[in-house]
A and B are shown apart, each in its own frame.
Chain A
Amino acid sequence: MSAEMQLDDHSTIIERGRYRMVMSLVVVLAFVAWLVHAFAVSDIEWKYVSHFLMVRTIMQGVAATLFMAVSAMLLGVVIGLIFAIVQQSGNPVWKTVAAGYVWLFRGTPVILQLLLWFNLALVFPHIWVPGYGSVQTVQLMTPFLSALLGLGLNQGAYITEIMRSGLTSVDKGQYEACCMIGMTRLQALRRVILPQALRVVIPPLGNEFISMIKLTSLSSMIQYPEILHSAQNIYYANARVIELLLVTGFWYLAIVTVLMPVQYFLEKRINRGWSG
């Protein structure tokens, strides 16, 4: 009997691949179960984890992490935007300066940059601040300012590249149309080019912000009291190392988990006018 004779509208066709899906589920579940078991029977004292999760020092660390991530990101966006615009301006001097900046700050490790900023006093013992006069660099370069400059300037180098790709993604005709209704370069940038570049720039900027959240942990090296630094301060005293590291892990994951839908909605909003 041939297949065509039996196959009618009421026949059920068994799709391929179900068996494989069930098998992979079993494998994954088994692995997760093993992992949970390993943590459960290990020496981790879970009551310490839950106790320190919301303790005051840790919460201050969370706030400091968020504050640093937002500030450094803002600094990075401002710097990146300026250098990207400068690179497009056609002035060869500024173009070279922008390229040199990207080369220097992308070419060295962030942790090194943080340490250099923190130890700036070894190069410039005194810095002249407008309105204050000469200040001792040691006093000026607090952990916060060092971390902000280190993370922000490093981020700015990456964001320069992102912004540049965003600006070049906007058709040249858009700029010419701006010119022909009498706009200046700056007006065109603000009213037409940047809003359109945003569409291209927002997804990678979201990624950069998420990685910035985690990069702030490096500033624990220069005594900035973010989450990791706070946790370290506690475990230096009570020796509950793994418990407190799990607490920090929880908070990083929590922050990133909250940010992901924010990024999604931002991208949806920015895409108005393009998707029909």
Chain B
Amino acid sequence: MTATDIAATTAPPILEVRNMRKAYGNMPILKGVSCTLNQGDVMCVLGGSGSGKTTLLRCIAQLERYQGGSVVVDGELMGIAEKGGRFYRLSERQIARQRLKTGMVFQKFNLFSHMTAMQNVMEGPVHVLSVPPEEARSEACRLLEWVGLGERMDHYPAQLSGGQQQRVAIARALAMKPKVMLFDEPTSALDPESVGRVLAVMKQVAATGMSMIVVTHEMGFAREVASRVLFMDHGVIAEDAPSAQFFSAPSHPRAADFLASTLGARVQTN
């Protein structure tokens, strides 16, 4: 906490979202969202369903087009270029190159189903970064062992459990050496037993100093690992606070309600 606070005052943020606006047709999803992520921060995005948290993450990843606002990752304006006072959308190729700065872990894993775990992790380094296959293989090997799947490298996704697939997906994203890792409800599609192991790997990733944005419903993870919490409600940020402060004394009434209901539900299930 203190370390990142000091870093924040000296280094520029690794990711900055300014005034993001996004609507599907007439339905506004994001109504001007701004936030910054400092190097090494873990930011958990909380909020009820439909609050816009997944959309925010997808806009940051340039998977959605937004009507207004900007995303700057590692000092680079994403998806748009300014020329003579006008803004132009970058070509698909340029955006693809920019996306190398961000890695993403999806709710439904999205592993390439015709490739083994090993091939999934090697795919990007070999075919996008042009890393020699042998080098990529040993790196993929190391990563898969690191996420605890050393014995499952040659399995196809269909032969792996949901939790195992998600850990391969994390390894696949890390293999591209991104500046920021984006997690889109990474444990929502998992059985309770797998959830713990995936969260453990995510904790491991955070411990390496990776900057992370995690959209999640896992309150325990947010409380324990996150340095900051972004609470979203109906397309705006209702609260943006250090994690400890958010969980002990949420300032926004919606956030307080949300905490009471989710943590309450958790007590009941226990």
Contact = CB atoms under 8 A, between A and B. Distances in A.
Interface in A233-274: 272-274
A181 B6 CA distance: 32
A191 interface: yes
B97 A181 contact: no
A191 B123 contact: yes
A179 interface: yes
Interface stretch (B15-23, B107-115, B135-143, B223-231): B107-115
Interface residues of A, number: 23
B110 A174 contact: yes
B96 interface: yes
B112 A192 contact: yes
A173 interface: yes
B61 interface: yes
A183 interface: yes
Given A176-B63, A181-B123, A187-B128, A276 B159 contact: yes
Interface string A158-178: 000000000000010110110
The 8 A-B pairs of least Cβ separation, nearest first, read A181-B124, A173-B110, A177-B110, A273-B156, A180-B104, A182-B128, A182-B100, A184-B96
25 contacts: A171-B110, A173-B108, A174-B112, A174-B113, A177-B104, A177-B112, A177-B169, A179-B99, A180-B102, A180-B103, A181-B173, A182-B96, A182-B100, A182-B128, A182-B176, A183-B96, A184-B93, A195-B114, A196-B114, A199-B114, A273-B114, A273-B157, A273-B158, A274-B156, A276-B159
A185 interface: yes
Say what secondary structure dominates the interface of chain A: helix
Contacts of A187: 127-128
B172 interface: yes
B247 interface: no
B92 interface: yes
Contacts of B258: none
B106 A177 contact: yes
A182 B114 contact: no
Interface of A: 171, 173-174, 176-177, 179-185, 187, 191-192, 195-196, 199, 272-276
A179 B127 contact: no
A274 B124 contact: no
Interface residues of B, number: 34
B113 A182 contact: no
A183 B127 contact: yes
Given A181-B173, A185-B92, A273-B113, 11 more contacts: A174-B113, A177-B104, A181-B103, A182-B97, A182-B128, A192-B112, A196-B112, A196-B113, A199-B114, A272-B114, A275-B158
B103, B114, B172, B173 — most chain A CB neighbours (10 Å)? B114
A273 B97 contact: no
Interface string B170-199: 001100100000000000000000000000
Contacts of A181: 103, 123-124, 128, 172-173, 176
Contacts of B128: 181-183, 187
Contacts of B129: 182
Interface in B28-54: none
Contacts of A183: 96, 124, 127-128
A173 B92 contact: no
A272 B104 CA distance: 27
Nearest to A180: B104
B34 to A, nearest CB: 23
A180, A185, A275 — most chain B CB neighbours (10 Å)? A180
